[in-house]
Structure 1
Amino acid sequence: MCHQDRDGDTDNTSSPPPKTTTHNDPFPWHLGAYDAHCHPTDTMSSLCPSSFAALRTRVLAIMATRSQDQQLVADVAAEHGIKHANPYSGSSESDSTAKSCKVVPAFGWHPWFSYQLYDDTVANPTYNYKPSSTDNDDASAEEDARINHYRAVLSPTPNDRSFLSSLPTPTPLSSLLSSTREYLTRFPLALVGEVGLDKGFRLPQQRLPDDDAYSRDESITPGGREGRLLSPFRVQMQHQQAILKAQLRLAGEMGRAVSVHGVQAHGVLYDTIAACWKGHEKKVLSRRDKKRIAPGAEESSDDDDGDEDEASSGNDGSKAKKKKKKQNIGGKPFPPRICLHSYSGSADMLRQWFHPAVPSTIYASFSTGVNMGNAGGKDKLAAVVRAVPDDRILVESDMHAAGEEAEALLEEMYRFVCEVKGWGLEQGVERIGGNFWRFVYG
């Protein structure tokens, strides 16, 4: 879903050379390989029973992106989703089903399709059509309202009425949030995703009714680009930010992890998300302050609810505190965990995400298609991988179909990360698996 050119300068962070090479070792699929971000519902035929049974990947984190695939993700999760979880066992199912691929669903609205939403929570929404039972020109009035919405959220402002009329009637943001909340409630392990910001994306051109040169591929889920040329129109960043913030707040409310897309927008993406956690930053103690605190006492300084927990703990403070902390995992205006999917910025830009004051637990995942797609991609990626803490790195395919190609790309990235990190292949696969479960469960 994110195979586009990305920005960010190469970082020259130095690191000890890898201690172990892995390119000749058999890949240990039996230990569990986890695809932290993929889109196989774009090609539903790749998820047929026989194809699904042949998958070697332990878990697929399947992202929804637009109106056409939300229910598809839910349907796949209903049949193949993880139901009885043990996040640190390496398998979340009984021994009899441990070898079959499972699904962690993610529900969200991708920035590429954010123009199809309007914020109905503001005083003057960009789409303000109200049907009238007495107005014979309702169809014309609705079209005018739709055109006005797209002129308000696209840049440069489109003037081609034919193009604007071809775009769908926008969906109210409140409706999206309501349906996403229902999906998250139905699937307690579900993530919020794919969401984010994208400065590079341009809308596809309209498809002309008499275009005999174009024949739609019926195997691909509707709603994507589908081979069309690109128009000059982009979604205004302010609109993208409003859609993103609303979904981040929902993730915080429900205590769910988020998979975040960022293309040519690394700085504004960080600023947008950081605005959600403003006032909730962790307290960072100076060295002098740390020396003044008794050993172990500083552990509670990062807990926002620490005073309240201890006050209610009575004589059994430890157990009560842990219980209360678990109960209060949600209810904040920002997600508890965030994965920077196919992160393509520099190592220098990455460091702000891992600052100790950041209250969300940040992960970074990498895919062969996005992160190695350009000349010099491996050199840049190696520096970034080294900058990611060992317990915060994930691997993904970002593929539109499940199967051999996606698994080959997943394996390639696993091997690359292990070599850069200096991990043995089995050690690295196990470590990344543990990271995946902590991302999903906390």
Structure 2
Amino acid sequence: MCYEHDISDTISHRDTLPPPSVLRHVVDVHCHPTDSEIPVKSMDNLPIIIGAMSTLQADQGLVRDLATAFPDKVVPSFGYHPWFTHWIALASYESKESHYRHIFKDADEHTEAFQKLLVHLPEPVILRAILDDVRQNLMAFPSAMLGEVGIDKAFRVPYDHFTSPGGLTPFTVPFEHQLAILEAQLDLAAELGRNVSMHSVKSQMATVELLDRMAVKHGEHWTKISIDIHSCGLSPQTWLSIERRHPNVFLSLSTVINSRSPNHRALIAACSPRRILVESDCHKIEDCAQRTWDMVLIVAEVKGWPVESSWEEVVDESQQGVVRHLENNWKEFVQGNHVGLNKIIKRPTRER
């Protein structure tokens, strides 16, 4: 998930798309279409499948409605994003202000900023109610994923999430609070056997430790589901460590986020051909197909895979095109039931 900005600043894309016979096999595994107006015509004309994310209480129903209206084009995802976890209380609380003072330990050091922020903050919701909501939505859609959920050590709380630009406060959401809410949601995904779209920013070693912990905690239930680290910003070295230890973890990349850094090409080169997915991370449905295709072309270039100009063209397996590679990866991701989990060896780690 990203704030709105001019995508043209991050990549000069081709503005060309392949034939519909190829596009219908492309999956944008992570986007946020309900963050903007969605014209019905745009959905009717959408040539790809999208994974539509929810992030906070207000958009769970929007994603549900979109998936109900377009079941053949939308894979819904339900969950609560780390940017909104301060709105969630782990237990009962005395008042709205007492909850946020508990979250923001340094509120007394920034009294004016805290009072200014408090006006824009919603009444907190108890974690138990959040989990009940996610559970109901997941059970209503057999193909639904958990998402977007995750952890973010770079995020600073804005004064108003719905004003652009809203300005940033001096406050951050305590990492332990983010992690408690993430783990509760991951426990639910393991229980229900649902795949996950996960956000991880400036949290490399914490992500490694989390995956190790979940694998030990849930055992076979964990390996039955797939985890996608979306708009993955991990170093190639950290990714390879995860790839070796966790056969159920994939990564997806977007031009809107990953093209800001040249690291994404090294990450593509290092990643197993079977673990790569692509996404747009867009909030405008009209942009999803082109932005996803832009990333398809980058993956093809780095991996040396041909780009299909026609789906009917028959080639031998050694010359399999990028869209077929990525479609097979998506099918493996959806299917889950991964095997070969290596024994998790505890070792000291440090944040990079």
TM-score, normalised on structure 1?
0.66
Q: Secondary structure at the match of 1:391?
A: coil
Q: Deviations over 1:104-132 (max 9, x none)?
A: 00000000000000112xxxxxx423xxx
SS in 2 for 1:438: helix
- CA deviations 1:124-182 (Å, max 9, x no partner) are xxx423xxxxxxxxxxxxxxx21121122235435333432431110011111111111
Q: Distance in 1 between matches of 2:166 and 2:56?
A: 18
Q: Which runs of 5+ in 1 are unaligned?
A: 5-22, 83-101, 121-126, 130-144, 207-222, 282-303, 305-331
Report the equivalent of 2:79: 108
Aligned to 1:63: 53
- Please give the secondary structure, in 2, of the residue aligned with 1:381: helix
Stretch deviating more after TM superposition (411-420 or 154-163): 154-163
Unaligned ranges ≥5, structure 2: 5-13, 309-320, 337-352
Q: Which amino acid in structure 2 is aligned with residue 355 of structure 1?
A: R
Cα distance change of structure 1 residues 25 and 50 upon mapping to structure 2, 3 Å threshold: closer
SS in 2 for 1:189: coil
Partner of 1:430: 324
Write the letter of the residue equivalent to 1:48. Answer: P
Q: State the distance in 1 between where 2:45 and 2:106 align.
A: 47
Q: Displacement of 1:28 after TM fit?
A: 4.4
- The alignment partner of 1:364 has SS state of strand
Q: Which residue does the alignment assign to 1:128?
A: 93
Distance in 1 between the 2:44 and 2:144 partners?
A: 22
Which of 144, 169, 183 aligns to 1:245? It is: 183
1:355 aligns with 2:244: yes
Amino acid at match of 2:146: V
TM-superposed CA distance for 1:440, in Å, is: 2.2
Aligned to 1:393: 276
Cα displacement (A) at 1:227: 2.4
Q: 1:74 to 1:24 in 2, by over 3 A?
A: closer
2:68 is equivalent to residue 78 of structure 1: yes
**Preserved CA contact (<8 Å) 1:34 1:396:** yes
1:271 is aligned to 2:217:
no
The more displaced of 425-434 and 169-178 is 425-434
Superposed CA offset, 1:80-111 (max 9, x none): 124xxxxxxxxxxxxxxxxxxx0000000000
Q: CA deviation at 1:407?
A: 2.2
Which region of structure 1 is more displaced relative to structure 2, 432-441 or 242-251? 432-441
Q: Which amino acid aligns with 1:395?
A: V
Q: 1:167 aligns with which of 95, 98, 121?
A: 121
Assess if the C-alpha contact under 8 Å between 1:184 and 1:191 holds in 2: yes
Contact 2:27–2:50 (8 Å) recurs in 1: yes
The one-letter amino acid of 2:61's match is Q
Distance in 2 between residues matched to 1:73 and 1:40, nearest whole Å:
8
Matches within 5 A, 1:302-317: none
Q: Distance in 2 between matches of 1:24 and 1:106?
A: 28
In structure 2, the partner of 1:196 is: 150
Aligned to 1:412: 294
1:338 touches 1:362 (CA, 8 Å); kept in 2? yes
- Inter-CA distance 355–225: structure 2 relative to 1 (3 Å threshold): farther
Q: CA RMSD in A?
A: 2.2
Q: How far 1:24 moved relative to its partner?
A: 12
8 Å CA contact 2:28–2:288 kept in 1: the answer is no
Q: Cα gap change, 1:333/1:437 in structure 2, threshold over 3 Å: closer, same or farther?
A: closer
Give the AA of the match of 1:49. V
1:344 aligns with 233
Report the residue type matching 2:281 in the other structure.
D
Distance 2:218 2:280 in 1: 33
Q: 1:50 to 1:26 in 2, by over 3 A?
A: closer
1:274-289 to 2 correspondence within 5 Å? Answer: 274-278=212-216
Selected match of 2:88 from 114, 117, 130: 117
Secondary structure (helix, strand or coil) at the match of 2:274 reads helix
1:3 offset after TM fit, Å?
A: 5.7
| Alignment-derived partner of residue 52 in structure 1 | 43
Question: What corresponds to 1:42 in structure 2?
Answer: 35
Offset of 1:270 from its aligned partner? Answer: 2.2
Give the one of 89, 103, 106 matched to 1:153.
103
Check if 1:441 corresponds to 2:335: yes
**What is the alpha-carbon distance in structure 1 between the residues aligned to residue 330 and residue 90 of structure 2?**
33
Q: In structure 1, what is the equivalent of residue 350 of structure 2?
A: none
CA distance in 2, matches of 1:400, 1:166: 23
> Offset at 1:280?
5.8
- What SS does the corresponding residue of 1:178 show, helix, strand or coil? helix
Structure 1 residue runs of 4 or more that deviate by more than 4 Å after TM superposition: 23-26
Q: Report the equivalent of 1:369.
A: 256
Q: Is the 8 A contact 1:64 1:109 kept in 2?
A: yes
**Conserved in 1, the CA contact under 8 Å of 2:223 and 2:248?**
no
Aligned partner of 1:261 in structure 2 is: 199
Distance 2:136 2:335 in 1: 19
Identical-residue share of aligned pairs (%): 34
Against the structure 1 CA distance between its residues 237 and 54, is the aligned structure 2 distance closer, same or farther, given a 3 Å change threshold?
A: same
User: Is the 2:277–2:326 contact (alpha carbons within 8 Å) kept by the matching residues of 1?
Assistant: yes
Larger RCO (CA within 8 A; separation ≥ 6)? 1
What is the identity, as a one-letter code, of the residue corresponding to 1:248? L
Specify whether residues 435 and 3 from structure 1 end up closer, same or farther in structure 2 by C-alpha distance, changes over 3 A only.
Answer: farther
Change (3 A) 1:254 1:280: closer
Q: 1:437 offset after TM fit, Å?
A: 2.4
Q: Secondary structure at 1:64's aligned position in 2?
A: coil
Residue 314 of structure 1: aligned partner: none
